[in-house]
Amino acid sequence: MCGLLKKGVRTMSENLTAPKWISKRIAAMNRLLKKHNNRAFHEHFIDEHWRLMNTKCKNKREYKAWTRINGKV
């Protein structure tokens, strides 16, 4: 098994990167921000970006439930 990963083992780069659902949401936010060039529109997404980067939720469903319970600060 020299140099091969066992089935189900995550590589170091996978552990350090954001989950796929977070990356997709950030990309969607960036697409919207490129379209709209006003400051108020950008400020709307600052808090959500911070929450996404610091969340401990494992999937989008958990994240949405958490934001409903705790409010969108």
Q: What pLDDT is recorded for position 71?
A: 75
SS3 category, 72: coil
Tokens 């969108």 appear where? 72
Any idea where the domains of the chain sit in the sequence? 19-70
**Would the pTM of this model clear 0.85, i.e. be above it?**
no
Q: What angle do CA 27, 30, 36 make, to 5 degrees?
A: 150
The encoded tokens of residue 19 equal 């989950």
Q: What pLDDT is recorded for position 61?
A: 93
pLDDT tens digits for 42-58?
A: 888 888 888 888 888 88
The encoded tokens of residue 11 equal 């590589």
pLDDT tens digits for 28-46?
A: 999 998 888 888 878 888 8
What is the total residue count of the chain? 73
